Amino acid sequence: MDASTGSEPKFKTKTSAGAEPALMELFLDSLRDIYWAENHLVKVLPKMIQSASSPKLSSTIEQHLEQTVEHVSRLVVIFDLLGVDAIAKKCDAMEGLSKEGEGIIESTDEGTATRDVGIILASQKVEHYEIATYGGLVQLASTLNLTDVAEILAKTLEEEKLADQLLTEVAENDVNYKASEEA
């Protein structure tokens, strides 16, 4: 009885001379995925900023937008270091997370702390995805002996963790309490 599914693995170990090992292929695929995600965020974050009513939340997201632009630039540097084109691969996860954020904005009343809480929740889901991705990429870069690349990715990882922490502080010190008092 044949137990195969009939589908080929996406990343096969290649044996031809000069071929990329499967792990490097997976690493590049993941870089292309986060490259799309970061570029997508550059387009999506301005709507979150505009939709937030808390000045502290708006400034926190604005700060992260500036960092996100820098993250895109760093990824281009990484692609250059690796000698490959900076090609984005659609990130279904980020597309879904951003659609969820848009849904929160559409389903909450403008100018409310409740909307701000929703924006924070959606933003933290994005941050957690980025933290997981960059954490994995740092480990893969280290495994592949790409020390310079690992250092660049680690810097971005720390900024993503800080962005998540800042969102938590805005929630705990400002908008959650205000939202709990809304009718």
- Pick left, alpha or beta for residue 67 (phi over 0 → left; psi -120 to 50 → alpha; otherwise beta): alpha
Sign, Cα dihedral of 153, 155, 159, 165: positive
Which of 63-92 are b and which e, b meaning 16 or more Cβ less than 10 Å from the residue's Cβ? Answer: ebbebbeebbebbeebbeebeeebebeebe
Residue 15 has pLDDT above 80, yes or no: no
**pLDDT band at 174, cuts 50/70/90?**
confident
Q: Which spans in 52-180 are helix H?
A: 55-82, 92-107, 113-143, 147-170, 176-180
Residue 132 has pLDDT above 50, yes or no: yes
Question: What does DSSP assign to residue 21?
Answer: P
pLDDT digits (tens, 9 = 90+) for 39-79: 999 999 999 999 999 999 999 999 999 999 999 999 999 99
User: Which residue, 56, 164, 65, 60, is CA-closest to 113?
Assistant: 56
Residue 12 has pLDDT above 70, yes or no: no
pLDDT digits (tens, 9 = 90+) for 69-118: 999 999 999 999 999 999 999 999 999 999 999 999 999 999 999 999 99
What's at 101, amino acid-wise? G
Query: What SS3 class is residue 30?
Result: helix
